[in-house]
């Protein structure tokens, strides 16, 4: 009974699989002989190739089948290739003839079949490699040589094709602008990225441009590097002085300045005698008209429900709502930048009673007037 062996119908010698972070088993669609016949490369999403090691990064099943013929198989990765990566599985059978035949012995058909299979696999490998190489068109006349110059003669040069023969050569660069327009030539010969940007007229990134910090700002400079513009905040002393016109006040600094120094100067008149109908002139010494001024009455002898040294705020002006006795009250006013004047009503001054709240005339000898002002 004759024994039938398989032939090889597939022509592929390489598979590329996309990683998904889950799949670990990748089945080839090409035949191979042994695990060592495969080359496995993991290509990252960035294009970096990392050779994988058999039994360290992956294992192989398949290859020669139970008839001794090359067959398809699978590569099992110990770690699933991540999303965005690629796994390249190639057949790289050794270019040798490992079989030996006896001179006068029989020829085992199984060994002959495997030798022919190996030749077919090697031919497919060469086909796969040549398919990714540069070729001359079949219609082109035979070129004398397609060999590149040696390393010493091609290092630092460009691949160039002879103008007459079309043969590959190594050539130095040329400033000939014929293949390009003037702009492209200028970009090619630009010394660096900054020069190229300047050539393109990218004004917003030209290093000759500058950013200047205006009032209340710091930083800036030319665009040869990253620049920062920052607010120039006033410190506490500057905030309280209030002299700078180039500093910025933050909300926190404003609050601190107000809390520390709401006014730059103040005046207290001390106790002043109250005389009905009199005009009192007080020199405040603030150097300018005050922003705020007000009067207090200080009790010197207990009266109208108030105790000694208690102060009653009476503001800056008072009039009697009782038209029958409209001469009671007082007023504060500023005749100039140096004085505060007080005019008393001829019939005295009113305060609300500390006991009943009713407006009542004070006994002027029992009270003193105090004027306070702030600038």
Higher-pLDDT residue of 112, 7 = 112
Q: What's the token pair of residue 337?
A: 């930048």
Structure confidence at residue 99 as a pLDDT band (50, 70, 90):
confident
Q: How far is CA 22 from CA 3, 46, 79, 188, 234, in A?
A: 42, 19, 9, 46, 59
Q: Could you write out the DSSP letters of every residue in 85-152? A: -EEEEEE---SS------SSS---HHHHHHHHHHHHHHHHHHHHHHHTS----TTSPPPS--PPPPHH
Contact between residue 320 and residue 326 where contact means Cβ atoms under 8 Å apart: yes
pLDDT in the model for residue 94: 86
pLDDT in the model for residue 64: 85
> What would the 3-class secondary structure string for 48-88 be?
CEEECCECCCEEEEECCCCCCCCECEEEEECCCCCCCCEEE
| pLDDT tens digits for range 221-276 | 887 788 888 888 888 788 777 788 888 877 777 777 666 666 778 899 999 999 88
Residues of the chain with pLDDT > 70, as a percent, come to 89
Q: What's the token pair of residue 237?
A: 């002393």
pLDDT surpasses 90 at 81: yes
Q: How many Å is the maximal CA-CA distance in the chain?
A: 156
Q: What's the token pair of residue 174?
A: 């040329």
User: Cα(325)–Cα(327) distance, rounded to whole angstroms?
Assistant: 6
Alpha helices in 215-281 (DSSP H): 236-241, 251-260
Secondary element (H or E) of residue 153: helix 151-154
pLDDT in the model for residue 164: 80
Contact between residue 299 and residue 314 where contact means Cβ atoms under 8 Å apart: no
How many helices and strands, by DSSP H and E, does the chain display? 6, 22
Closest-CA residue to 114 (of 152, 70, 83, 156): 70
Rounded to two decimals, what is the model's pTM?
A: 0.42
pLDDT surpasses 60 at 160: yes
| pLDDT tens digits for range 174-197 | 655 455 667 777 777 777 877 777
Q: Which residues pair with 222 in a beta bridge?
A: 210
pLDDT in the model for residue 42: 97
User: What value does the mean pLDDT take over residues 28-43?
Assistant: 93
Burial class (CB in 10 A: 0-12, 13-18, 19+), 295: buried
3-state secondary structure of 3: coil
pLDDT surpasses 50 at 35: yes
User: Cα(7)–Cα(363) distance, rounded to whole angstroms?
Assistant: 133
pLDDT surpasses 90 at 79: yes
User: Cα(370)–Cα(336) distance, rounded to whole angstroms?
Assistant: 20
Q: Which residues pair with 158 in a beta bridge?
A: 171
pLDDT in the model for residue 19: 96
What is the set of domains in the chain, with CATH numbers?
14-131 (no CATH), 212-262 (no CATH), 266-374 (2.60.40.10)
pLDDT in the model for residue 2: 46
> 101: which residues sit within 8 A by CB, 6+ positions away?
107, 111
Q: What's the token pair of residue 352?
A: 């609300």
The angle subtended at Cα 228 by Cα 222 and Cα 232, nearest 5°, is: 115
pLDDT in the model for residue 27: 96
């Amino acid at each position: 009974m004759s024994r039938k062996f398989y032939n090889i119908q597939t022509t592929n010698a390489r598979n590329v699989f996309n990683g998904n972070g889950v799949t670990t088993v990748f089945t080839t669609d090409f035949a191979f002989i042994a695990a060592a016949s495969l080359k496995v490369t993991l290509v990252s999403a960035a294009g970096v190739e990392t050779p994988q090691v058999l039994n360290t990064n992956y294992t192989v099943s398949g290859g020669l089948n139970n008839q001794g013929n090359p067959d398809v198989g699978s590569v099992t990765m110990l770690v699933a290739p991540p999303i965005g990566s690629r796994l390249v599985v190639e057949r790289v059978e050794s270019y040798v003839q490992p079989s030996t035949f006896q001179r006068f012995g029989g020829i085992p058909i199984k060994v002959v079949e495997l030798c022919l299979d190996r030749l077919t696999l090697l031919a497919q490998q060469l086909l796969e490699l040549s398919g990714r190489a540069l070729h001359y068109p079949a219609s082109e006349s035979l070129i004398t040589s397609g060999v590149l110059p040696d390393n010493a003669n091609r290092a630092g040069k460009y691949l160039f094709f002879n103008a007459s023969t079309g043969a590959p050569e190594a050539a130095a660069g040329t400033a000939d602008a014929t293949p390009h327009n003037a702009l492209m030539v200028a970009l090619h010969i630009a010394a660096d990225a900054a020069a190229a940007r300047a050539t393109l007229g990218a004004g917003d990134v030209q290093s000759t441009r500058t950013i200047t910090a205006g009032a209340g700002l710091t930083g800036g400079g030319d665009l040869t590097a990253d620049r920062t513009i920052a607010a120039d905040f006033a410190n506490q002393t500057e905030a309280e002085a209030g002299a700078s016109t180039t500093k910025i006040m933050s909300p926190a600094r404003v609050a601190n300045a107000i809390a520390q120094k709401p006014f730059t100067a103040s005046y207290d008149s001390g106790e002043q005698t109250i005389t009905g109908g009199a005009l009192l002139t007080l020199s405040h010494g603030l150097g300018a008209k005050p922003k705020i001024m007000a009067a207090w009455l200080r009790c010197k002898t207990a009266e109208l429900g108030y105790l000694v040294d208690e102060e009653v705020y009476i503001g800056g002006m008072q009039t009697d709502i009782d038209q029958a006795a409209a001469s009671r009250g007082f007023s504060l006013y500023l005749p100039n930048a140096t004085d505060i004047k007080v005019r008393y009503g001829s019939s005295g001054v009113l305060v609300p009673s500390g006991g009943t709240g009713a407006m009542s005339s004070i006994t002027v000898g029992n009270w003193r007037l105090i004027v306070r002002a702030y600038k």
